Structure 1
Amino acid sequence: MFLKVALALCLVTSTTAFFIEEECLNYTVYPVQYELTIIPYVLYEGRSYYDCETIITVIANAPNVQIIELDAKDLDIKTVNVYYNDRDIINKFRPFEYNGKVGKLYIYLREALQQYSISKIQYNIKISFSKQVESDSSSGIFIAPYEDGGTKHLFATRLSPNKARYFFPCFENPRFEAVFKFRVYQVPNRKGVQYANTSLVIAKEQTRHKVRDDYVIIEYIPSSQVALHQVGFHYSQFGFRQVSAKNTNDTIIVWGPNNKLKYYDFILIFGEKIMNMIHEYASVNRPLVYGPINIVAVPLRLDGYEVGSWNLLTNRENRLTYIPEFTSIKQEEHMTFELAQQLCRIWLGNPGEIERTRWYEEWFKEGVSTYLAYYFLTQYEQGIQTLRHRIPIGIHGLQMKNIAMSQDWHHSTPALITFNRTLAVEIPARYKELVQMKTASILWMIENWIGSDKFHMALVRYINTRRGHYISLKDFMTNLDHDTVECLHQFFNGSTASKVLDSWFHQPGYPVIHVNVLRDRTPNAVQLKQHKFSFVREDRDSHYLIPISYMVQNNQNCFNCYQPRFTIDQTYTFEENLNGGWIILNTNASGYYRVNYDTFTWKLIAKTLKEAHLSINELNRAQMVNDVFALYAAGVMNQSLAVEILDYLDQELSPVVWDSAISGFDLIKTPGASCNINKYLYKDWQEFMQAKVAPMYNQIATEIEQQSVSRMFRSHIISFACAVDLQPCLNQLRQSYDNYIHRKHRLDPDTRETCYEVLYRSDANFGRQGFNAFEVEDKVSAERKIRKEKQFLYQIPMGSPVLDRLVMSTTNAPDSTTEKKEDTEQPTVPATHGGATQNFAPNVLALLFFILCSMR
């Protein structure tokens, strides 16, 4: 029946958009078009409000409908009518009932609606109401003050699911799509009422004309067929700046207060470069969207862009303005990533396309847009002028993988495929980042496996051939195999990219591969066994289809280490000539898994890291450092071995390795982790990392290098040095703030957040004076970190002092000529002190001896 309704809707709408193929929805009345006439009153004093008249064209989706149920919240409903042609069929004795508590408007009819599939009849619901607008950005429509030659205000909307009802009465099903036709009145200058000259909706302006009392009426063309969360409205006295793409008519327009327009140049130039990269990547002279992309800077705390929107976007003001003396390098990275990700979403499919492209699985679209955002960001940061010389995402790939892995281990985390047909706006907030980063990480793993050029050619070819059609995960994987599987690009055991993707999308979490090298035979046998990784419970068997790549220390007679092409399911054993050296899995760290080696192999790796760490590429060093912290936190690796491997860090100069080490150190704070951390052990780890980070801190703390990579590295090192209570760092930041307070110099924006953290530790009342938007963001982040640290320290037990304090390892790495049988065995899970294998008996004897001596 729904297909008949969809066909009928195509005939009555004024657009050429087509309907999503879905099962019959559980509404008896279906909206076809919303016509909104809005008269906003922005008051200088008192509450602002708007009057509105909405006409909803609907059809009956079931027989004998005599009650129409709409969603409406915090609205002052004045009149309601329902027209069939020109005849009002509302029940005059009981016209409507409005339940403000549950947010429902019930309309009662004196005659039943006729089912559209039989009668082809449509009805018009006419509702007039008014709405008081406040500054709460979580209520759908809100008002925000800004300074531009005095205090002014703007109206703006954020109609994510369950928020449109605060804007106007509607059928708030996120899968319902309809045409929207706006008419907006611009109120003239009057006493107590603010004049506004900027009105933006989701459609292009058609006409404007003056009426009595100098009102200006703006008529907009009917929008394309969209869902409620894709609707937008903005009303202010903003000005704008704009840029256009090189080869298409795509235009980005940023709106903001006139006195701040110069601060939008950075984001405009960045947006132009990303648009040009996308067009070059697509290899098709096709605009991203029909009409301009309007971006509104809102002076309130907003959480990124609206996921489903394409031509009217809002974001917090400091995510669009770039002021060198206030914008930190982290904030700059955040604003560029968000815009790159949103432009990728728009390119992958939006309602404003000439031929609309739809995705069955929007979680998959979110992952692809995240991956592409990092891809374009990598080219932008490296100054690449043409994608013919593309650079793999490498560093960004490892960052997104570490973010995903830090969240993806818990037993309650769902598999990606469970989101199935879930709309992107319906993904729970707690899983949003995980879905984006994990999907992107799995794509990065596949890209590294089949080759970057092949992967990107297959991806862009697929997107281009699906314009105006549906994109599904299954269809994508089929085409990926078709474009990439060759004799040289198929796994030894017959697996393909689609089989690997299917394996990872259908299982939650990720695995750890235990590597055991049998060195008592020639060639050596390498045993691989996977388990599902978790911080809080015993390993469990898992069945991920894992692409294996590896490198060896001594590759003179290596069988297949240059491009090994096989996958493992549960266990796998292969032969390799290691010649007494180590083997390292997961070349370039692109695989979405962790690796734990036998003790002897770990000691060989530790020896190489200590003596010649540059012989191992930085991505693999970074991954191993993060894995060591994770394995220790999970109780899989003992403390002394972890310290021996990490001992080389005071020689490490790579930003990506230190970034991985910093995120890895946070893993030992995982609630309930099997390492059984206590306050004494945590203090020992802090002191150990103090010794490791101190040389790097001393080297870069006073540098003035302003390259983005250097700024970010310096920011991370200073933040971590203070996190582990490195005293020179703490003193320096306190001194910097004292100098700032006494007007001697400005506070470095890159270390501002860390400075706030240091001050909060000693003064809980810090931060009550005025801050700008950039400082407020860092202040809130600092407060959050301090609360999390206090909660962690409160929850862990005191423990008891460890006699053998945690110091830099002095254990000699094994000589490759001597092998012990126990070195080839898997590390055992320790019983005490978070996995630290303690030499208990000698310590007890030493303690007794000390007590006896004291008694004498």
Structure 2
Amino acid sequence: MLGCVYILALCVLATSTSQPDEVAPHIIKTRSIDLSNAHSLAMESRLEKSVMPTGYNLSLEPRIEDAVYDGYVAINLTWASDTDEITLHVSPELEIINTTVKVWLENSKEPQELRIKDVDPDAKKSTILFQVDRMISKNTKGVIELTFKGKMETTSSEGLFKTTYKTEKDRESVVVATQLRPNNARRVFPCFDEPEFKAPFDVSVVRPCKMTALSNMESDRVENIPDEPNAVREFFKRSPPMSTFTLGLVIADIVELCNTTNFDDGSSNFNIHFWGREEYMEVLSEVQSKIIHVMDVINDYDWPALPISKLDIVALPNYQGVKPADNWGLIVFKESDLNNDGYIQLAQEVLHQWLGGLVTPAWWSDVHINKALVGYLAVEASFMINDGREMDGKWPMTVLYSLYYEYSKRYPHSRITGMKQETMSTKIELLFRMFNFTLGEVAFRNGVRKFLLERAYKTFDSNFLWDCLNAEFALVNRDKQINVKTIAQSWIEKDRLPMITLTRYYNNRTALLKQKLYLRERPHDVPDAGEMVWWIPLIMTRGDDSYFYPNVMSWMDSSEFIIQHAPNENVFIVINPEEIAPCPVNYDQRNWYLIAKSLQNDHRDLLSPLSRAKVLHDAWNLAFAGELSFATALNMTLFLKKEKHHIVWDPVFTMIDHIARHVWDIRDKFNAYIISILCPMYEELEKKNEGDDLTIYQTNLRAHLKTFLCQAGYKPCIQEAQEQYRKWMNAQNPDEGNPVSDRYFCPVFRWGTQEEWEFGLQRVINFPHSRKQSERTYLLKTLAGCLRDKTKITRLLNITLLEGNANFTEMDLFLINNMFANSPQAYTTLLQFISDNWDIIRERYNTKSNLWSHLISTATSHFTTEAGLELVRSLQTAHKGEFGPAEHIVEKSIKNIKEECQWSAQNLPIMEKWLDAYLHMNGIIVESTQSP
């Protein structure tokens, strides 16, 4: 990147146990478990630490055909305090047969068995409490032995599950495996099922002779079973101390890729084995080469050794887990996850061997920290391996822009806890990227290494990680004092993001920086918004070659900050280039002008592609939020006529989609502008394509450009689509199949003739049941979603709502309504149609409360102008008290439309004035496409 980026001041071994003696069994009846709090693990009641596990001896005997198993576990214990109780996790799905507790009392050579005087299972908490007949003193050692029976899961890939698949030779093959994350170990065997209770495992399993068994450690020995000629018992070597959720097991008819990979970085030294179906060996061979690349990157990190001698990579065709089972020393993938060309997911799973296996979050409240660090390092590894080709090199834009939209809402996440956790993890992932920039790569890497070294075999909370990063930064930068924990918490503790505003004072070459809550959704009335402050790294690039040294702070930790010695009035400043901190930046009008001017001339490369994308994305979103004039935002797009880099184009399409929904009254002018902006790049790529000289990035960019040109009414696109579509219309039996690409549907339905649209409608009505119904769904989506004239919309409404054509299901009506929500002409026509046919439609649909509410919501919720507000008010007045369950929807719609009207009144005149000037200056004649 040309130009300069400146950081302002910169910145136990388990004791062997014997089989239990016969005692009176304690039988627990199996009951269903309440999983309603599955997404709130952090709120789960924790076990007392009065008794601690020091080792497990676990034996499982699956009866695969019946999908059940017998089990035995001996858990070595140490008493951490005086108590007469032992509490374990155990699912009600397990049936406990026998329980024995033994302790080694002072001066005793043999363990003494204790009488269990009470058993208290808690199905809701999935725990069982055993009370023994005496108080056991602190530091006593003992063992609790349990025999039990369980059922394999056959409908999901959780706990101990069984699944089958057909081989290419049409032979049924069986897989038995485990997925114990996050707290499914208790569903398989009684245990201390919390991350903090790490202990070694001795595991054995009974398997069919012709099947392979894999676990965390390599096989130690195999023993024959008397009277069982077709099965053997396989013992695995003792594991290092590990959390229960990292325990893994696979029993399957799989083979090993003939050549293994050795990983030796001077500290770790283990072999990597690849397992799967015989038919899958070619893909596994490619996976092997990718793993080698990932390991080479990890080798550069100089991390501590893993205490394992092997790592098994297993591909299963029917593993249904949402994510791979990343057990320590054993990673189970679904085959489809290994079929892609990328490295990120592979890197994530391998990194989990250190961050998750060797070092583990102490509780679920810190899991998102671990996930975020793994996520960032995996992306970094992928970029180092293939120069950022994965995700088209668009990370962090791929995740950052969605954060901007979510956190700028008045009510982020819509109170969906699962989404909130995912968003939080993504934000922290970007914070790690920020720290890598601002602390420096050396300090950041050393901090992560220190963290792994000091917490190996242990657990951690987030504070320890921040302290490690802070300590390593202090070693490299002894003259600079920061507190990484304070910085991190200022971002993590708020479900929000800040925005920065730079106001320059050109007469004395100073600038004032202000930070505040970034809100895109109106109204901006979030409580305590004025009290929110983030620690923001002040990083800057400028349009000359002068270095910029501040004389004050490097981090903005207050609402205002003064920059001294800014450049002269002809040189732009860009704050937060490269999206180093996740926050948008606004400027005074002149600085925006300087940036726009620079981008339009030969100095465009003073800003990197990611920085050019940032200023463009910031300008549009700040204008949308009411923080910037749309005239300025539109000026920022003029350089796109000369822009070549695909990363810069990426935010353009989202912006067009967002704004196009609000400019219906001036849509023809807006479309003419869009065509003039997109055409130069599209035509250049079309010419290159003739010589077959396009990169994958350019191919994808050309496809996006074409899609949006088609939406805007680009005539060559429409003509091409109609020519191709005509082949289908001329087909002898058009209902037997579609001979043309689906991408031609929308341009034809949006801009084509009534005859062409009617043909598509008949294909939906006459769609044969023998064909894939997903094809019909896509056809109906485009048929309803690519409409802009009232005649076609009314025709569709007559058939579906009034005539009740039997070819359209209730789900079809929901789909049509969803598509109408994106078109002002469609939802306006829908409202008028409901109003004109109120009695019939209300009688037919108001008893179907979900569909009725959906219809009313689509018809009333999306208007942005005074004219639309009047339509909704008229409908409410005419039928007050008749909306039933949808009454509140209309009231809420009116409230929201009032806000949108203010936005439209403020911005549409400015946009239209700018468009008029732009179109006139460029000699562009606007053809009206307004429908009646």
TM-score surpassing 0.5?
A: yes
1:538 and 2:538 matched: no
Largest Rg, 1 or 2: 2
Distance 1:679 1:291 in 2: 65
1:265 and 2:250 matched: no
Report the equivalent of 2:897.
Answer: none
What do you get for the CA RMSD once the two structures are aligned? 5.2
Match of 1:584 among 554, 564, 574: 574
Match of 2:115 among 82, 85, 89: 89
Letter of the structure 2 residue corresponding to residue 201 of structure 1: S
Aligned residues: 720
Report the equivalent of 1:381.
Answer: 386
How much has 1:199 moved relative to structure 2?
1.0
How much has 1:365 moved relative to structure 2?
3.6
Secondary structure in structure 2 of the residue aligned to 1:600: helix
Secondary structure in structure 2 of the residue aligned to 1:250: strand
Secondary structure in structure 2 of the residue aligned to 1:592: coil
How much has 1:582 moved relative to structure 2?
2.9
1:125 and 2:145 matched: yes
How much has 1:348 moved relative to structure 2?
4.6
Secondary structure in structure 1 of the residue aligned to 2:353: helix
Distance 1:718 1:543 in 2: 43
How much has 1:744 moved relative to structure 2?
12
Report the equivalent of 1:635.
Answer: 626
Distance 2:700 2:245 in 1: 35
Alignment of 1:45-60 (within 5 A): 48-58=67-77
Deviations 1:192-214 (A, max 9, x none): xxxx5121222321100222321
Give yes or no for contact 1:626–1:663 (8 Å, CA) kept in 2.
no
Deviations 1:212-265 (A, max 9, x none): 321211011232222222121211101232422365633332322111111122
Distance 2:659 2:133 in 1: 64
Match of 2:649 among 628, 649, 658: 658
Distance 2:815 2:715 in 1: 18
Report the equivalent of 2:594.
Answer: 604
Distance 1:160 1:791 in 2: 41
Secondary structure in structure 2 of the residue aligned to 1:658: helix
Secondary structure in structure 2 of the residue aligned to 1:261: helix
Letter of the structure 2 residue corresponding to residue 593 of structure 1: C
Distance 1:277 1:173, change over 3 A: closer
Distance 1:136 1:407, change over 3 A: same
Distance 1:681 1:178, change over 3 A: farther
Match of 1:314 among 327, 332, 355: 332
Distance 1:457 1:67 in 2: 41
Alignment of 1:183-262 (within 5 A): 183-188=204-209, 196-212=210-226, 213-214=228-229, 215-241=231-257, 242-245=260-263, 247=265, 249-262=269-282
Report the equivalent of 1:440.
Answer: 429
Give yes or no for contact 1:581–1:604 (8 Å, CA) kept in 2.
yes
Match of 1:39 among 41, 61, 67: 61
Report the equivalent of 1:71.
Answer: 90
Letter of the structure 2 residue corresponding to residue 41 of structure 1: R
Give yes or no for contact 1:462–1:479 (8 Å, CA) kept in 2.
no
Letter of the structure 2 residue corresponding to residue 290 of structure 1: I
Distance 1:123 1:685, change over 3 A: farther
Give yes or no for contact 2:77–2:141 (8 Å, CA) kept in 1.
no
Distance 1:683 1:158, change over 3 A: farther
Give yes or no for contact 1:292–1:311 (8 Å, CA) kept in 2.
yes
Distance 1:432 1:619 in 2: 27
Distance 1:559 1:34, change over 3 A: closer
Match of 1:292 among 294, 310, 314: 310
Letter of the structure 2 residue corresponding to residue 332 of structure 1: D
Distance 1:175 1:643, change over 3 A: same
Report the equivalent of 1:164.
Answer: 185
Deviations 1:528-567 (A, max 9, x none): 11111122353833422322233333x38x5727999733
Match of 1:552 among 536, 542, 548: 542
Alignment of 1:406-417 (within 5 A): 406-409=405-408
How much has 1:734 moved relative to structure 2?
12
Distance 1:728 1:200 in 2: 59
Distance 1:71 1:698, change over 3 A: farther
Deviations 1:472-518 (A, max 9, x none): 1342243233233256xx4xxx7576764454455553211112223
Distance 1:246 1:238 in 2: 27
Give yes or no for contact 2:328–2:357 (8 Å, CA) kept in 1.
yes
Give yes or no for contact 2:14–2:56 (8 Å, CA) kept in 1.
no
Report the equivalent of 1:831.
Answer: 902
Letter of the structure 2 residue corresponding to residue 475 of structure 1: D
Give yes or no for contact 1:549–1:564 (8 Å, CA) kept in 2.
no
Report the equivalent of 2:175.
Answer: 154
Distance 1:712 1:164, change over 3 A: farther
Alignment of 1:268-417 (within 5 A): 268-282=288-302, 287-298=305-316, 299-306=318-325, 309-321=327-339, 331-333=340-342, 336-348=343-355, 350-351=357-358, 362-382=367-387, 396-409=395-408
Deviations 1:435-475 (A, max 9, x none): 44323322333433455456546655775677677771342
Distance 1:646 1:502 in 2: 36
Distance 2:710 2:906 in 1: 26
Unaligned runs of 5+ in 1: 1-9, 16-22, 189-195, 322-330, 385-392, 415-426, 670-675, 804-828, 844-856
Distance 1:263 1:358 in 2: 33
Alignment of 1:721-760 (within 5 A): none
Report the equivalent of 1:430.
Answer: 419
Report the equivalent of 1:854.
Answer: none
Give yes or no for contact 1:49–1:131 (8 Å, CA) kept in 2.
yes
Distance 2:313 2:406 in 1: 31
Letter of the structure 2 residue corresponding to residue 141 of structure 1: F
How much has 1:304 moved relative to structure 2?
2.6
Distance 1:496 1:259 in 2: 54
Distance 1:763 1:548, change over 3 A: farther
Distance 1:734 1:312 in 2: 54
TM-score (normalizing by structure 1): 0.70
Give yes or no for contact 1:680–1:801 (8 Å, CA) kept in 2.
no
Alignment of 1:524-535 (within 5 A): 524-535=509-520
Give yes or no for contact 1:252–1:295 (8 Å, CA) kept in 2.
yes
Deviations 1:97-117 (A, max 9, x none): 878x747475766x5254241
Distance 1:209 1:577 in 2: 79
Report the equivalent of 2:504.
Answer: 517
Give yes or no for contact 2:706–2:717 (8 Å, CA) kept in 1.
yes
Distance 2:91 2:283 in 1: 39
Deviations 1:799-833 (A, max 9, x none): 45999xxxxxxxxxxxxxxxxxxxxxxxxx99331
1:141 and 2:161 matched: yes
Identity %: 17
Letter of the structure 2 residue corresponding to residue 346 of structure 1: Q
Distance 2:551 2:737 in 1: 59
Give yes or no for contact 1:78–1:127 (8 Å, CA) kept in 2.
yes
Distance 2:134 2:773 in 1: 57
Secondary structure in structure 2 of the residue aligned to 1:377: helix
Deviations 1:718-757 (A, max 9, x none): 7777888979779779969999x99999999xx99x99xx
How much has 1:637 moved relative to structure 2?
2.7
Distance 2:332 2:617 in 1: 36
Secondary structure in structure 2 of the residue aligned to 1:133: coil
Distance 1:78 1:486, change over 3 A: closer
Unaligned runs of 5+ in 2: 1-11, 18-44, 103-110, 751-756, 786-810, 823-857, 869-899, 915-932
Query: After the TM superposition, which of the residue ranges 679-688 and 291-300 deviates more from structure 2?
Result: 679-688
Distance 1:256 1:663, change over 3 A: farther
